[in-house]
Structure 1
Amino acid sequence: MNKLKEYINNISYLNENVFRELEKCFTPLQLQKKDFFVREGEYARKIGFLQEGIVRAFFFNEKGKEYNKQFFIGPSIIGAYTSLLLKQPNTIAQQALTDCKILVADYERIEGLYNDFHEIERLGRKIAELYFLEKEKKEIEMALLDADKRYLILRKKFPSLEALIPQYYIASYLGISATQLSRIRKKILQL
């Protein structure tokens, strides 16, 4: 739980008593590579604290083409947030790309702490704000930057990612083909 405490306190400090109440909500979970944290079509009920490992968030378009929306590398919060908030079926699956160590909590149980512990409610808001800012940043990058620049940003943000997962996942995340990614990588290596 030390990783969870450190991660949380970097976002919004919780005193020891409040953290202990939040900590009671979490239980350990191991995901093996290719296991799902949440599937498309399921109603999400849990959030997770990814301690170690890599999880991808992805979806398919109407033609069946796969898009990788996000990568989560521990330490990170994972979960189908839209499904949790709207209580609707999930549209974006989350799957382990490596073996993962996760702490899992029932989202409603955490929400139940909001009235008693405003520090936990503030933490939830700050986490939502961070993910909103990250989402907006990626949308702007996808719209305004060419694939070379997006690739360099990915490498800076996730320096070890390329060595751990298949290249076609990275290409999908960048919105390009695997062939285009190969060309970009070759060009950058030659610089």
Structure 2
Amino acid sequence: MMNSWLRQALGEYVSFKDEEWEFFMHRCKCVKLKPKDIFFRSGEIANKVGFLRKGILRACQENEKGEIVTCYFYYLPHNNVVSLQTSFALKIPSEHSVEAITDCEILYLERNHFNNCLHKYPVFETMVRKIAEKHYLDSSKRINDFQTKDAKEIYNDFVKECGDLASEVPQYMIASYLGMSQFTLSKIKKITFQL
């Protein structure tokens, strides 16, 4: 069944009746991205919601020093909903860009089609609420980790939770995401490898 991968992935949040799913799928579009292609651009309103079929993306923004900081990774199977929630919900320009790190394939809905789904079938409201809850809990854990753990613990947690990213994503992006310099990350990896 075409796009059964997405129905299965979203099944983590809700179950769809066939008519709900067909309504949803008829409004989806597909985009393929190459590394460095942009899915969301900083300074623009995020007017779509994506669902990652393959690949890895990152949300990033420029800090006051002019450095690009990696804030979030989208990858399978953990973070497959590609959105910038604040920008989408409040209809304000995003501070973040979302760019492909590897070849990516994303099914997405533009805002008007997404809203049609929400208005027609309550199951989509439930799905959105549960996805938002997951993002909130993930963000809360990340903030708590930064406040209570040292760099080595943060890196070890990252490897446990998403070790597959460590081999596929450039080290400078991982260091930035973990809030440390590349030097510190290299040092931690060297110590960890020696143990």
Q: TM-score normalised by the shorter chain: which range applies? A: over 0.9
Per the alignment, residue 8 of structure 1 pairs with: 10
2:190 paired with 1:186: yes
The equivalent residue for 2:93 is 89
Counterparts of 1:104 and 1:113, CA distance in 2 = 13
Partner SS, residue 68 of structure 1: strand
Corresponding residue of 1:151: 155
* 1:55–1:94 Cα contact (<8 Å) kept: yes
Residue-pair matches, total? 191
Distance in 2, matches of 1:23 and 1:157, equals 31
Task: Deviation per CA, 1:2-39: give whole Å up to 9, x if none.
Answer: 11100111111112221111112211110001101111
1:19 match: 21
Q: Is the 8 A contact 1:14 1:120 kept in 2?
A: no
**1:5-154 equivalence runs, <5 A:** 5-75=7-77, 76-154=80-158
TM-aligned CA deviation for residue 112 of structure 1: 2.3
For structure 2, the residue ranges without an aligned partner over 5 or more in a row are: none
Render the CA deviation track for 1:76-113: whole Å, top value 9, x for unaligned: 00022211111111111111000001101112321222
Q: Secondary structure of 2:94's match?
A: coil
Q: Counterpart of 1:129 in 2: which secondary structure?
A: helix
- Report the CA distance between 1:74 and its aligned residue: 2.7
Secondary structure at 2:36 match in 1: coil
Structure 1 spans left out of the alignment, 5+ residues? none
Q: Which moved more, 1:97-106 or 1:108-117?
A: 108-117
Provide the rounded CA distance (Å) in 2 between the counterparts of 1:54 and 1:135.
19
Q: Which residue identity lines up with residue 40 of structure 1 in the other structure?
A: S
CA distance in 2, matches of 1:122, 1:164: 33
TM-superposition CA deviations, 1:125-155 (whole Å, max 9, x none): 1111111111111111111111111111111
Taking the aligned partners of 2:178 and 2:157, their CA distance within structure 1 comes to: 10
- Deviation of residue 65 (structure 1)? 2.3
Deviations 1:31-66 (A, max 9, x none): 001101111101111111011100001111122122
The amino acid that maps onto 2:41 is: R
Question: C-alpha displacement at 1:122, in angstroms?
Answer: 0.6
Q: Letter of the aligned partner of 2:37 in structure 1?
A: D
TM-score, normalised by the number of residues in structure 2: 0.94
- Normalization by structure 1: what TM-score? 0.96
